[in-house]
Amino acid sequence: MSDIPLHSLGRKGKTRAGYVPLNDAQDTDMPTGVLRAAAARSVNLTVKGKGKQRERYTDADEFDEEATLLGNRDSTLEEVEEGNAGEQSKRPHRRSSSIHKTQDKSRTIPFRPAEKIQSKFPPNLVRNQKYNIFTFFPIVIYEQFKYFFNLYFLLVALSQFVPALKIGFIVTYVAPLAFVLCVTMGKEAYDDYKRNLRDREANSQKYLILVPSSDSGPHTRSVPSSSLKVGDLVVLEKNQRVPADMVLLRTSDASGTCFIRTDQLDGETDWKLRVAVPATQKLADDRELLDLDAEVYADAPIKDIHTFIGTFTIHMPRAHSVDDVPMVQVPTVEPLSAENVLWSNTVLAAGSAVGFIVYTGSETRAVMNTSHPETKVGLLDLEINRLAKILCAVTFALSLGLVALNGFRGQWYIYVFRFLILFSSIIPISLRVNLDMGKTVYAQQIMNDSEIPGTIVRTSTLPEELGRIEYLLSDKTGTLTQNEMEMKKLHMGTMSYGFDSMDEVAHQLASAFAHARSNSIATGAQLAMRGRRDMSSRLRDVVLSLALCHNVTPVTNDDGTLTYQASSPDEVAIVKWTESVGLTLVFRDRTRMELQTPIGARLTYDVLDIFPFTSESKRMGIVVRDAHSGEVLFLQKGADVVMARIVQRNDWLEEETGNMAREGLRTLVVARKRLTSQQYAAFKTAHHAASIRLDGRGEAMISVVAEHLEHDLELLGLTGVEDKLQDEVKGTLELLRNGGIKIWMLTGDKIETARCIAISTKLVARNQYIHEVAKLKTSDQVRDELEFLQSKLDCCLVIDGESLQLCLNLYKNEFIEITTKLSAVVACRCSPTQKADVARLIRYHTKKRVCCIGDGGNDVSMIQAADVGVGIVGKEGKQASLAADFSVTQFSYLTKLLMWHGRNSYRRSAKLAQFVIHRGLIISIMQAVFSAIFYFAPIALYQGWLMVGYATIYTMAPVFSLVLDRDVNEDLALIYPELYKELTKGRALSFKTFFQWLMISVYQGAAIMIMSLVLFETEFLNIVSISFTALVINELIMVALEITTWHIYMVISEVVTLFFYVISIAFLPEYFDLDFVVSTRFAWKVAVIVAVSALPLYFIKLIRSRVAPAASSKLL
pLDDT bin (cut points 50, 70, 90) of residue 79 is: very low
SS3 call for 384:
helix
Q: Which residue has the higher pLDDT, 284 or 438?
A: 438
CB-CB contact of 47 with 9 (8 Å): no
What are the Cα distances from residue 429, in Å, to 157, 245, 436, 949, 977?
Answer: 11, 51, 11, 14, 35
Q: What's this model's pTM, rounded to 2 decimal places?
A: 0.71
CB neighbour list of residue 674: distance below 8 Å, 6 or more residues apart: 525, 528, 631, 632, 633, 634
Measured CA to CA, the distance from residue 474 to residue 851 in angstroms comes to 8
Residues 743-761: pLDDT tens digits? 999 987 778 778 888 988 8
Cα distance between the two ends of the chain: 96
pLDDT bin (cut points 50, 70, 90) of residue 1089 is: very high
| Catalytic residue from among 475, 749, 855, 885 | 475
Q: Which residue has the higher pLDDT, 287 or 845?
A: 845
Measured CA to CA, the distance from residue 885 to residue 869 in angstroms comes to 5
Residues 513-528: pLDDT tens digits? 887 766 544 455 444 4
Q: Is 441 exposed, middle or buried (0-12, 13-18, 19+ CB in 10 A)?
A: middle
Has 534 been annotated as catalytic? Answer: no
- Rounded to 10 degrees, what is the CA torsion of 950, 954, 960, 961? -160
Residue type, 103: Q
The whole-number pLDDT of residue 58 equals 34
CB-CB contact of 234 with 354 (8 Å): yes
The whole-number pLDDT of residue 585 equals 93
Q: Which residue has the higher pLDDT, 74 or 734?
A: 734
Out of 74-88, 127-141, 611-625, 673-687, the most confident range is: 673-687
In percent, how much of the chain has pLDDT > 70? Answer: 86
CA proximity to 1053, closest of 932, 967, 964, 934: 964
Q: Which residue has the higher pLDDT, 328 or 938?
A: 938
Q: Which residue has the higher pLDDT, 917 or 1016?
A: 917
Given a cut of 80, whether residue 416 has pLDDT beyond it is yes
Q: What radius of gyration do the chain's Cα atoms show?
A: 38
The whole-number pLDDT of residue 518 equals 61
Given a cut of 80, whether residue 372 has pLDDT beyond it is no
The whole-number pLDDT of residue 317 equals 56
The whole-number pLDDT of residue 606 equals 93
pLDDT bin (cut points 50, 70, 90) of residue 495 is: confident
Given a cut of 90, whether residue 1092 has pLDDT beyond it is yes
Given a cut of 60, whether residue 1020 has pLDDT beyond it is yes
CA proximity to 874, closest of 568, 481, 463: 481
Lowest mean pLDDT among 161-165, 171-175, 810-814: 171-175
Q: Where on the phi/psi map is residue 50: left (φ > 0), alpha (ψ -120 to 50), or beta?
A: alpha
Given a cut of 60, whether residue 673 has pLDDT beyond it is yes
180-217 burial code (b ≥16 CB/10 A, e <16):
bbeebbeebeeebeebbeebeebbeeebbbbeeeeeee
CB neighbour list of residue 893: distance below 8 Å, 6 or more residues apart: 452, 455
The whole-number pLDDT of residue 789 equals 92
The whole-number pLDDT of residue 286 equals 82
The whole-number pLDDT of residue 32 equals 38
Residues 114-171: pLDDT tens digits? 888 888 999 998 887 888 888 888 988 888 888 777 788 888 888 888 887 777 677 7
Q: What are phi and psi of 399, to 5 degrees?
A: -65, -45
Residues 182-210: pLDDT tens digits? 877 887 888 888 888 888 888 899 999 99
Lowest mean pLDDT among 44-58, 628-642, 894-908, 933-947: 44-58
Query: What's the average model confidence in pLDDT over 358-387?
Result: 84
Q: What is the mean pLDDT of the chain?
A: 81
SS3 call for 613:
coil
**487: enclosing H helix or E strand:** strand 481-491
- Rounded to 10 degrees, what is the CA torsion of 162, 168, 169, 173? -70
Given a cut of 90, whether residue 605 has pLDDT beyond it is yes
Query: What's the average model confidence in pLDDT over 428-438?
Result: 81
Given a cut of 70, whether residue 320 has pLDDT beyond it is no
Given a cut of 50, whether residue 23 has pLDDT beyond it is no
Query: What's the average model confidence in pLDDT over 592-614?
Result: 89
Query: What's the average model confidence in pLDDT over 578-604?
Result: 90
SS3 call for 815:
helix
